[in-house]
């Protein structure tokens, strides 16, 4: 059943989600910093796996927020191109140049590698490439979501071709490379791309924002989401012990387990925060932190690497504490830098 929600309600629960997802990305990158260095049988590696597994939902939720806002918005194609796409691309160019310069002077990697770093982007800047692509197809997707029936059909197709079939292929390949290659070629022959990958989360975010789920459905999503969290932890640990090395097979954003995590977080936030009234002071704080989240995301990788130079990393002390403590430190510093950049009008407009 559809229910119109006020702009303030939507904004508040999106603000909460955006801030939480920004912190979750930081936890992910702090936990992942020594993911491949630690012995998979060690206590430290299992702690890293636990923290990494419980925040895999962050990027999908970012995409879901964007989908809910853009597919439910009224921005014209010209406005999207001039404001949103231009801002993302400007930020991408600036931060790619900055990170490439840091890599060049810190490692002496050479001009060729520095140029490649600019063109490809630092490890977390891929998100901006992906976001740009989604913005460009917003007008097409708005036509799609005008029909709830077509939207459901799209999500079903996307679920099948983005999650179910690729994950079956991944699991089969673990046991038999030959069988995996045969199935992989079969899927390649279908050449189905229209409804795949991040478009699923983009449309799903809009669908969940517009649809009031009854209590029974919410409980099913919560139960499936908890199962997704547990599966991510246990299966990642299991395959690491089996292969005797760290594996990210069940960490992917297009695994069923991570998708279930994202659905749980999004639906829970909508239910928990979407109908709550907050004071004017708290609302302003939420809006400010939400506004600063983009800049905090862009700069946090630099903060993590700077802290690492001072010996502050996930293996520096007791791992159960090191990941959350360092993540909080990265969060505070990154938001502080983003806040400072927002005080400069030109930078505020184009790069954060």
Q: What is the largest CA-CA distance in the chain?
A: 61
**Residue 87 belongs to a domain:** no
Between 101-105, 156-160, 320-324, the lowest mean confidence (pLDDT) is in: 101-105
Place of tokens 């999004």: 266
Containing structural domain, residue 251: 7-72+145-350
The predicted pLDDT at position 73 comes to 86
Transcribe 137-185 into DSSP letters: THHHHHHHTTSHHHHHHHHHHHHIIIIIHHHHHHHHHHH-HHHHHHHHH
Residues contacting residue 145 through CB under 8 Å, at least 6 positions apart: 71, 151, 203, 206, 207
Question: What's this model's pTM, rounded to 2 decimal places?
Answer: 0.91
**Residue 88 belongs to a domain:** no
Domain count along the chain: 1
**Residue 103 belongs to a domain:** no
> How far apart are alpha carbons 298 and 87 in whole angstroms?
13
Most confident of 16-30, 92-106, 107-121, 308-322: 16-30
**Residue 140 belongs to a domain:** no
> How far apart are alpha carbons 257 and 259 in whole angstroms?
5
Reference 142, options 86, 75, 54; nearest CA is 75
**Residue 254 belongs to a domain:** yes
Q: With 50 as the cut, is the pLDDT of residue 8 above it?
A: no
Q: How much is the average pLDDT of 209-235?
A: 95
Using DSSP's 3-state secondary structure scheme, residue 260 falls into helix
Reference 52, options 252, 332, 259, 313; nearest CA is 252
**Residue 139 belongs to a domain:** no
Q: With 50 as the cut, is the pLDDT of residue 163 above it?
A: yes
Structure confidence by residue, pLDDT tens digits, 21-54:
999 999 999 999 889 989 999 999 999 999 999 9
**Residue 272 belongs to a domain:** yes
**Residue 94 belongs to a domain:** no
């Amino acid at each position: 059943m559809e229910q119109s929600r006020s702009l303030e309600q939507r904004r508040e629960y999106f603000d909460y989600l955006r801030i939480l997802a920004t912190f979750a990305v930081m936890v992910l990158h702090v936990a992942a910093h020594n993911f491949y260095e630690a012995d998979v049988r060690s206590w430290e590696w299992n702690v890293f796996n636990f923290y990494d597994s419980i925040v895999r939902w962050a990027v999908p939720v970012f995409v879901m927020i964007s989908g809910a806002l853009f597919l439910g918005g009224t921005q014209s194609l010209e406005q999207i191109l001039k404001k949103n796409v231009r801002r993302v691309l400007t930020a991408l160019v600036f931060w790619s140049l900055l990170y490439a310069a840091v890599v060049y002077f810190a490692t002496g990697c050479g001009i060729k590698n520095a140029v490649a770093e600019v063109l490809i982007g630092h490890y977390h800047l891929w998100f901006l490439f992906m976001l740009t692509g989604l913005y460009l197809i917003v007008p097409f997707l708005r036509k799609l979501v005008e029909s709830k029936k077509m939207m459901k059909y799209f999500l079903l197709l996307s679920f099948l071709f983005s999650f179910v079939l690729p994950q079956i292929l991944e699991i089969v390949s673990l046991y038999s490379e030959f069988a995996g290659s045969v199935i992989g070629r079969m899927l390649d022959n279908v050449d189905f791309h229209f409804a795949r990958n991040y478009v699923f989360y983009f449309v799903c975010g809009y669908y969940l924002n517009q649809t009031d789920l009854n209590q029974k459905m919410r409980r099913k999503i919560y139960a499936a989401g908890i199962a997704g969290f547990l599966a991510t932890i246990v299966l990642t640990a299991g395959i690491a012990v089996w292969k005797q090395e760290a594996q990210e097979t069940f960490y992917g954003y297009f695994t069923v387990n991570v998708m279930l995590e994202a659905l749980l977080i999004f639906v829970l936030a909508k239910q928990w925060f979407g109908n709550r009234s907050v004071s004017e002071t708290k609302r302003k704080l939420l809006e400010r932190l939400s506004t600063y989240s983009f800049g905090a995301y862009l700069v946090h990788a630099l903060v993590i690497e700077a802290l690492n130079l001072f010996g502050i990393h996930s293996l520096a002390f007791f791992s159960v504490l090191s990941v959350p403590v360092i993540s909080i430190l990265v969060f505070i510093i990154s938001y502080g830098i983003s806040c400072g950049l927002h005080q400069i009008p030109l930078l505020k407009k184009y790069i954060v």
